[in-house]
């Protein structure tokens, strides 16, 4: 159960994407900070390099020297598509390492042999962008891995994550070599992959499929944004598969899974479905993104549909000594002032609160919300922090927000802004 509260935070559009040949359009995910306070992200359109469509960009937003002045946007890379061996259409944002290098995925492009509707589109890529040695120079892009065939993965989806050894982990919505009934146009049901860096400088990164999803009773179509625990076990969600939901035409309402590393070298990773969503029991359905750990090792996430009113949920899964995970619905969206159908995952605050975005709201352009942790087992408090208003404000938030050191939240919208191509925004208490 949860109660509602109202606390209008102040919002500022930091940047409106202009689209066309010189700028990005439609942010592909959220934003990340570097140590200097710059923001980075990707757009899945814009740049003008793939006529008649566009391949997308990676961008930087630099804060102003004087408070109140505009932020400065720089396009760091314009993707050129599979005709140039480059990626096409970022699906998810970027992550940043301690040296300031950016890493992300594109859903298409690269040198792979994937064909969609009779056209070779490539199977997707994992890329790295390295900053210049001198300020003002050009960033350098390298394709770390180009998925060669659907068996290795097809259409990378969502954010990547590093382990302590420098390996990258991610998910592809299709491919992986298992399952045949997940989509009429794409092969297989999705995969979780590991990318290991070369042992010698200048060598190639090595990919390994850790799990290929098999569909219905297993999960299918995994979301990116995987998380790792202290033992290296991977946790994530699939948007379909699992319980056979009648209203989903039998494709399943999604799962939460874990992948445990092999005990001995040469063995396979072991997958376990720890929760199958079942909206017939007022559960959620169709998780749109990965999960986050809270301070007690519980997993928190969102679903797009299901719940008490059918508009999605915020859920928590708690482990037990016998290996069974128990779900608690922290909030069910009502379809009224809060509308619902979140399109992204959650961010955990230092005080244990959960923050996210959802569609709809009073202005039908989406909201930024917070869920405050109950005191002594009480009720979670849902707060509409800010209701987006549509152009020239943002419209359609589809990425989780991130905090700065002062407790302000930063996020993106796929639409709205001065040109209708999306925004980067800040909300502050």
pLDDT at 157 over 60: yes
Whole-structure pTM value: 0.95
pLDDT at 143 over 90: yes
- 348 or 250, which is more confident: 348
pLDDT at 251 over 90: no
Q: What pLDDT, on the 0 to 100 scale, is given for residue 184?
A: 87
**Which of left, alpha, beta for 95 (phi over 0: left; psi -120 to 50: alpha)?**
beta
Beta-ladder partners of 256: 237, 275
Q: What is the Rg, in whole angstroms, of the alpha carbon atoms belonging to the chain? A: 21
Two tokens, residue 120: 């070779």
| H or E segment to which residue 33 belongs | strand 32-33
| pLDDT classification of 245: cutoffs 50, 70, 90 | low
Give residue-wise pLDDT tens across range 389-399: 999 999 999 99
Give residue-wise pLDDT tens across range 292-337: 999 999 999 999 999 888 899 999 999 998 889 999 999 999 888 7
Q: What pLDDT, on the 0 to 100 scale, is given for residue 52?
A: 66
- % of the chain exceeding 90 in pLDDT: 79
Give residue-wise pLDDT tens across range 73-127: 999 999 999 889 999 999 999 999 999 999 999 999 999 999 999 999 999 999 9
pLDDT at 4 over 70: no
Q: What pLDDT, on the 0 to 100 scale, is given for residue 375?
A: 77
Question: Other C-beta atoms within 10 Å of 350: how many?
Answer: 8
CA distance 25 to 423: 9
Mean pLDDT of the chain: 92
Identify the DSSP state of 82: G
What's the average model confidence in pLDDT over 369-397? 90
Q: What pLDDT, on the 0 to 100 scale, is given for residue 309?
A: 87
CA distance 292 to 325: 15
Two tokens, residue 64: 């102003």
CA distance 329 to 147: 38
* Phi (first) and psi of residue 128, to 5 degrees: -130, 140
Q: What is the largest CA-CA distance in the chain?
A: 59
Q: What pLDDT, on the 0 to 100 scale, is given for residue 221?
A: 96
- 127 or 244, which is more confident: 127
Q: What pLDDT, on the 0 to 100 scale, is given for residue 5?
A: 55
Q: How many residues does the chain have?
A: 429
Question: Which residue do the tokens 């042999």 mark?
Answer: 113
Question: How distant, in Å, are the alpha carbons of 106, 258, 316, 319, 359 from that of 326?
Answer: 35, 14, 8, 7, 28
**Straight-line distance from the first to the last Cα atom of the chain, in angstroms, rounded to the nearest whole number:** 25
Two tokens, residue 320: 């037990």
What's the average model confidence in pLDDT over 53-79? 94
Beta strands in 294-401 (DSSP E): 299-303, 305-306, 313-318, 326-332, 347-348, 354-358, 367-372, 380-387, 394-395
Q: What pLDDT, on the 0 to 100 scale, is given for residue 170?
A: 98
Question: How distant, in Å, are the alpha carbons of 64, 105, 169, 170, 190 from that of 214?
Answer: 49, 23, 19, 17, 8
Question: How distant, in Å, are the alpha carbons of 262, 270, 357, 367 from that of 303?
Answer: 30, 25, 12, 16
340 contacts 334 by C-beta, under 8 angstroms: yes
Reference 302, options 347, 271, 272, 335; nearest CA is 347
Give residue-wise pLDDT tens across range 273-283: 999 998 877 89
Give residue-wise pLDDT tens across range 200-219: 888 999 999 999 999 888 99
pLDDT at 247 over 60: no
Buried residues in 6-30 as b, exposed as e (16+ CB within 10 A): eeebebebbbbbbbeeebbbbbbbb
388 contacts 417 by C-beta, under 8 angstroms: no
């Amino acid at each position: 159960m949860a109660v509602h509260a109202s606390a209008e935070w102040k919002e500022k559009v930091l940047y409106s994407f202009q689209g066309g040949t010189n700028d990005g359009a439609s942010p592909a995910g959220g934003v990340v900070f570097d140590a200097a306070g710059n923001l980075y992200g990707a757009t899945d359109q814009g740049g003008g390099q793939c006529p008649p469509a566009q391949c997308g960009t990676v961008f930087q937003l630099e804060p102003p020297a004087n408070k109140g002045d505009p932020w400065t946007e720089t396009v760091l890379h314009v993707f050129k598509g599979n005709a140039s061996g480059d990626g096409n259409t970022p699906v998810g944002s970027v992550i940043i390492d301690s040296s300031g290098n950016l890493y992300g995925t594109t859903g298409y492009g690269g040198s792979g042999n994937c064909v969609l509707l009779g056209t070779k589109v490539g199977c997707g890529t994992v890329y790295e962008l390295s900053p210049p040695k001198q300020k003002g120079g050009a960033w350098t892009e390298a394709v770390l891995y180009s998925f060669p065939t659907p068996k290795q993965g097809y259409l990378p989806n969502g954010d990547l994550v590093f382990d302590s050894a420098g390996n990258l982990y991610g998910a592809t919505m299709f491919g992986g070599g298992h399952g045949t009934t997940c989509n009429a146009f794409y092969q297989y049901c999705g995969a979780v992959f590991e990318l290991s860096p070369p042992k010698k400088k200048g060598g190639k990164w090595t990919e390994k499929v850790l799990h290929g999803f098999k569909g219905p009773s297993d999960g299918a179509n995994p979301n990116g944004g995987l998380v790792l625990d202290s033992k290296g076990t991977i946790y994530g969600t699939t948007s379909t598969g699992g319980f056979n939901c009648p209203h989903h035409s039998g494709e399943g309402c999604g799962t939460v899974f874990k992948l445990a590393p092999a005990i001995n070298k040469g063995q396979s990773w072991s997958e376990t479905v720890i929760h199958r969503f079942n909206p017939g029991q007022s559960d959620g359905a169709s998780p749109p993104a990965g999960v986050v750990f809270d301070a007690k090792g519980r997993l928190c996430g969102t679903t797009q549909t299901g719940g008490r009113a059918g508009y999605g949920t915020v859920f928590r899964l708690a482990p037990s000594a016998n290996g069974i995970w128990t779900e608690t619905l922290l909030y069910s969206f009502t379809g009224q002032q809060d509308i619902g159908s979140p399109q992204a995952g959650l961010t955990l605050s230092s005080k244990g609160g959960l923050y996210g975005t959802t569609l709809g709201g009073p202005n039908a352009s989406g909201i930024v919300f917070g869920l405050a942790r109950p005191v002594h087992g009480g009720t979670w408090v849902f707060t509409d922090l800010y209701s987006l208003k549509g152009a020239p404000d943002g419209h359609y938030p589809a990425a989780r927000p991130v905090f700065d050191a002062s407790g302000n939240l930063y996020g993106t919208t796929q639409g709205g802004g001065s040109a209708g191509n999306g925004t980067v925004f800040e909300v502050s208490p």
